[in-house]
Amino acid sequence: MKKRHPANASGNWYVDTSCTDCSAARTVAPGLIVERDGQSVFARQPQTAEELRMAWRARLLCPSASIRTASKEPAPEGLFPELLTRAVYRLGYNAAHAAGAHSFLAEARSGNFMIDSPRWATQVVAAIAERGGLRGILLTHRDDVGDAQRYAAHFGAEVWIHRADRDRARFADHLIEGDTPVEIRPDMLAIPVPGHTKGSVAWLFEGRCLFTGDSLAWSFERDDLMAWRDFCWYSWEEQTKSLRRLLAYSFEWVCAGHGGSKGLPPAEMHRRLSGLINRMQSGEFSS
């Protein structure tokens, strides 16, 4: 039976015991929602208008519907899509069958692209339609496919995935091959990053936003870039090599499927990525 987890701060907002600890809520409400006893809980009650919006975003995207309020109240308007930086939005409504991963919308000059997929939600459909529909869906890897097939069929969108992960998206129209980066549009570059899975791909938008799937993320707890060896399904050695190859690119945003998304000046992002790679090679993440 679902019940309020006792580690929640007392008050209106809480996370119940059905939480699957996917971390999605913590990455849209860092500090407000934290991990305790193997799940997310409210460390404190939201106080400001922005903290209330953070709590509501967490509630709407939670794939297990574990975030609740004791009182009944309507959600504010305009929570999703959430503008992260120019022409890049977080879509919300995370899919349980994608382990609660975040998905994004990029408003490219060549047409709109969804990066990974949320669960099917009329709110997402309406928001995308208002912005002119979808030209394509770009999948970072096999785990975060979500309801991509349904969105592709609805909008007549093409779908890209790496051949090595194609078995989870047989409906894909285009396959990324091998380890060679490929420009699918003038403002969108596919960069294979094998490691988390054999077919992991990072998507670089306008030379400034890198959609990383589960290969690279921002940790609000560490206040730094992070990768997860415990959730590396193919090869940690290959993931380390892949992230090192990303040093050849300039970007200012990391938009992650799991973990946090963060923007920094390109030189600082490069420094943080180099530091992460050094930690990976030093054995800091040894199993």
* Residues 140, 211: Cα–Cα separation, whole Å: 8
| pLDDT over threshold 90, residue 214 | yes
pLDDT band per the 50, 70, 90 thresholds, residue 285 = confident
Residues contacting residue 142 through CB under 8 Å, at least 6 positions apart: 161, 165, 167, 168, 169, 197, 199
Q: How buried is residue 43: exposed, middle or buried, by Cβ count under 10 Å (0-12/13-18/19+)?
A: middle
Instruction: Please state, rounded to an integer, the average pLDDT across all residues of the chain.
Output: 97
Q: Which domains does the chain have, with CATH numbers?
A: 13-69 (3.30.70.20), 82-282 (3.60.15.10)
Q: Say how far apart CA 211 and CA 253 lie, in whole Å.
A: 8
Q: Which letter does DSSP use for residue 143 in this model?
A: G
Is the model's pLDDT at 236 over the cut of 90?
Answer: yes
Measure the CA–CA gap between 66 and 139, rounded to whole angstroms: 26
pLDDT value of position 286? 61
Is pLDDT at 187 greater than 80 in this prediction?
A: yes
- Place 283 in a pLDDT band, splitting at 50, 70 and 90: confident
Average pLDDT over residues 222-251: 97
pLDDT at 94 over 90: yes
pLDDT over 60 (residue 178): yes
120-155 residue pLDDT tens: 999 999 999 999 999 999 999 999 999 999 999 999
| Residue 42 pLDDT level (bands cut at 50, 70, 90) | very high
Local confidence band at 2 (pLDDT 50, 70, 90 cut-offs): confident
Give per-residue pLDDT as tens, 196-211.
Answer: 999 999 999 999 999 9
Q: Write down the pLDDT at residue 119.
A: 98
Per-residue pLDDT of 148-171, as tens digits, reads 999 999 999 999 999 999 999 999
Mean pLDDT in residue range 227-253: 97
